[in-house]
Amino acid sequence: MYNDRIALSIQDILEKEFKIDTRGYRLQEVDKFLDIIIRDYNEYNNIIKALEKERKALVTENQELKQEIRNMKASIEAVKSEEKEITNVDLLRRISQLEKIILGKEQ
């Protein structure tokens, strides 16, 4: 993912060869410095991997929560529509059925 933004790989740094001049750099200092760069670069890659894993988990959780919100909204709308559909005729039918049950048991 970030590989296109990174100029050097660990292997590029490890295999880097410097030209030796008569007044050139001390090879031991360059090697020590490159070792530090490689360790830091490796740690940087580990951090990126961990963050990418965390990001994927958060994206998944976010999608699940969005779906849960959609489901809840749909449930709320269903309940609201059911409440609106109850009419006086429905209530009279329910009362009539309850009367039949109650009166039927008494007989």
pLDDT per position as a tens digit, 9-58 = 788 888 887 777 777 777 788 888 888 888 888 888 888 999 999 999 99
Q: Comparing 100 with 68, which gets the higher pLDDT?
A: 68
Residue 85 has pLDDT above 60, yes or no: yes
What are the distances in angstroms from CA 107 to CA 66, 81, 102?
56, 39, 9
User: What is the torsional sign of CA 77, 78, 83, 86?
Assistant: positive
- Angle (CA) 27-34-18 rounded to 5° is 45
pLDDT at 102: 83
pLDDT at 60: 97
pLDDT-derived band at 83, boundaries 50, 70, 90: low
Q: What is the pTM of this model?
A: 0.54
pLDDT per position as a tens digit, 93-107 = 888 888 888 877 655
Domains of the chain, by residue range, sit at: 3-106
